Amino acid sequence: MLEYLPQALKREYLKDVNKKVFRHLAFIKELTLHSQYLLAEFIVRKISHPDEVILNRMEPAKCIILQKGLLGMVIRHRCDKKPPEVIQTLSVEGNEGSKLLNLAFIKRRRQDYYLRSLAYSIIYYLENEDFENYLRQNSLDYEHYCLLRDKLEIGINPDELYECDKCQHECHTKFQCPRLHYIPNHMLIVSRYLEKIRISKQDRHRYLRNRFKTVCLPTDT
């Protein structure tokens, strides 16, 4: 039906229909209306069937919004005897409202998992490069985008995460769970390194001070 509409009317239709998907997404709602309408015009709607792979492992992350259905993050074990394991799911039922998969696309990182549809699902997606280029057209929105990207590079944003099934912690997923993976604490490592330097300097000063005292002691005649 859409292909028979005039181009201008088609754009307005897509803007109106797709913008409703953003209503429950805090990150996109913070953007100006101009950027929201621009994203709504070009974001792609897709109906996926069960077991369909939406995102391959090590593929660049996309802005993926689930409007309805069930998605699973799947890992494949190195041992071929073990079947693929769904380690995290994202679901939207009824009038629950759309959900953003995560903010990995802002960090420009590749995923360590496969994203697979576990049921008939309605998703919307946009390539990271396209998402960024559209926001560049508005200086305020692009600045907000860059600030968020910088924050994500140095820490964890709770808006992108769901409760970990392994330890019921709300500040990370299974991919960041310290019970399953070694996750280096960068601040702790730096702090320990600086503490070693401080102690080393103190020991050296103590050694030099004691040596100076020894040299300056009067000798018995």
CA atoms within 13 A of residue 87's CA, in its CB half-sphere: 20
Rounded average pLDDT over 67-77? 86
In a domain, 10, yes or no: yes
Q: Taking the model in full, what pTM does it have?
A: 0.63
Q: Mean pLDDT in the chain? A: 76
Q: What is the sign of the dihedral through the CA atoms of 132, 133, 134 and 138?
A: positive
In a domain, 199, yes or no: no
Task: Please give the share of the chain, as a percent, with pLDDT higher than 70.
Answer: 72
Rounded average pLDDT over 16-29? 80
In a domain, 197, yes or no: no
In a domain, 132, yes or no: yes
Q: How far apart are CA 99 and CA 115, in angstroms?
A: 15
pLDDT surpassing 60 at residue 19: yes
Q: How far apart are CA 139 and CA 157, in angstroms?
A: 23
Q: How far apart are CA 35 and CA 124, in angstroms?
A: 16
The pLDDT of residue 55 is 86
Question: For the chain, percent helix, then strand, then coil, each to nearest 5?
Answer: 45, 20, 35
In a domain, 81, yes or no: yes
Name the pLDDT band for 29 (thresholds 50, 70, 90): confident
In a domain, 75, yes or no: yes
State the CATH number of the domain containing residue 96: 2.60.120.10
In a domain, 153, yes or no: yes
pLDDT surpassing 50 at residue 162: no
The pLDDT of residue 120 is 94
Residue range of the domain that includes 149? 2-160
> Among 48-52, 126-130, 171-175, which is the least confidently predicted range?
171-175
| Number of domains comprising the chain | 1
Rounded average pLDDT over 71-84? 77
The pLDDT of residue 79 is 65
In a domain, 40, yes or no: yes
Rounded average pLDDT over 189-199? 74
Query: Bigger pLDDT: 39 or 172?
Result: 39
